[in-house]
Amino acid sequence: MADFTELTQAMINLDEDKVYDLVDKKVDKGENPLDIIKECNDGMFEIGQLFEKNEYYLSELIMAGEIFKSVMSKLEPMLGEADLANQPSKGTVVLGTVKDDIHDIGKDIVISMLKGTGYEVVDLGVDVPADKFVNAARETGAKLVGVSCLLNFTFPEIKKVVDELEAAGLRDQVKVMIGGAPCNEDVRKFAGADFYGKDAASAVSICNQVYR
Ligand code: B12
């Protein structure tokens, strides 16, 4: 059996009270919120595996999502580097979860990190059709569109975003980054996107590259 941290194991067990308690203790000790998120995320991965093996069902996925969201509401204010209230924006990023996909936890973490590091983010939400990404890029003048995707069968929808940006004549001005658990370099190539980011910190470095 794999060796999980206490927090990861509590997450896997969906032991809500224990998760919150452990997170509180880690926050009090001054642990990096990204490390805490990583431990919870490892639990989410395992929950996904249990779901695949029919040991967990949709209700467990829903519960896991709720627990993770509560953890994030505690950690989110800690993700910013500094008080950015009076700082000019570093640039605008359009972000959304691809059409037919309603997973938003990872997308929201990316958004918190980007906002926390000085970017303006246009959050299109979940189940976003390609034309909405295109219109938002056109209207805001964003140089970067981020597509979150957690379901294999929606990969063609990422490609559609890239293709529709091209058809709208925006592809030269707008870069596309993708992310989400099943994404990787192969998916990026398939979709014709410019960047693949494995986590929220990668999303920030991609933005820093684009808005250099
Ligand atoms: C929680 C969960 C749900 C919740 C979602 C709640 C919510 N509000 O988001 C609910 C219950 C709704 C759900 C539903 C379903 N789910 Co679900 N779900 C999960 C689970 C367990 C965790 C996902 C999660 O939140 N992870 C935590 C976050 C923090 O991780 P993340 O999203 O990967 O994001 C990080 C990075 O990937 C990256 N990132 C994310 N987005 C972006 C974007 C950019 C631009 C960049 C750069 C980076 C980036 O940064 C984030 C932070 O580090 C996963 C298991 C897994 N391995 O992911 C299954 C999983 C994704 N679900 C799965 C399935 C099959 C479904 C359902 C089809 C089940 C069903 N039969 O109905 C439905 C689909 C509904 C739909 N149409 O979207 C499968 C998908 C298989 C596949 N690859 O196609 C998985 C992998 C489970 C499994 N192993 O079988 N699910």
What is the model's pLDDT at position 116?
81
CA gap 42, 48 in Å, rounded: 10
Q: Say whether both 108 and 28 belong to one domain.
A: no
Cβ < 6 A, ligand 1 pocket: 41, 44-45, 47-49, 51-52, 58, 61-62, 64-65, 68, 100-107, 109-110, 146-148, 150-152, 177-182, 197, 199-200, 202-203
* Domain that includes residue 43, residue range: 6-78
Q: Dihedral (C-alpha) 185, 187, 193, 198: value to the nearest 10 degrees?
A: -50
What is the model's pLDDT at position 79?
80
CA gap 13, 104 in Å, rounded: 22
Query: Which residue intervals of 78-177 are DSSP H helices?
Result: 105-116, 130-140, 155-167
d(CA 198, ligand 1 centre) in Å: 13
Q: Rounded mean pLDDT of the chain?
A: 93
Q: Say whether both 109 and 184 belong to one domain.
A: yes
Tell me the pairing of strands 144-148 and 120-123: unpaired
Q: Say whether both 122 and 206 belong to one domain.
A: yes
Contact 158, 191 (CB under 8 A): yes
Amino acid at 171: R
The tally of domains found in the chain comes to 2
Which tens digits make up the pLDDT trace of 79-118?
Answer: 865 455 566 789 999 999 999 999 999 999 999 889 888 8
What ligand 1 atom has the least distance to the C-alpha of 150? 61
What is the model's pLDDT at position 86?
60
What is the model's pLDDT at position 84?
54
d(CA 48, ligand 1 centre) in Å: 8
Looking at the DSSP assignment, which residues form a beta bridge with residue 124?
A: none
Within 8 A by CB and 6+ apart from 212, the residues are none
What is the model's pLDDT at position 85?
55
Question: Is the pTM of the predicted complex or chain greater than 0.75?
Answer: yes
What ligand 1 atom has the least distance to the C-alpha of 107? 41
Asked whether residue 162 is assigned to any structural domain, the reply reads yes
- Range 177-183 average pLDDT: 97
Which tens digits make up the pLDDT trace of 37-96?
Answer: 999 989 999 999 999 999 999 999 999 999 999 999 999 888 865 455 566 789 999 999
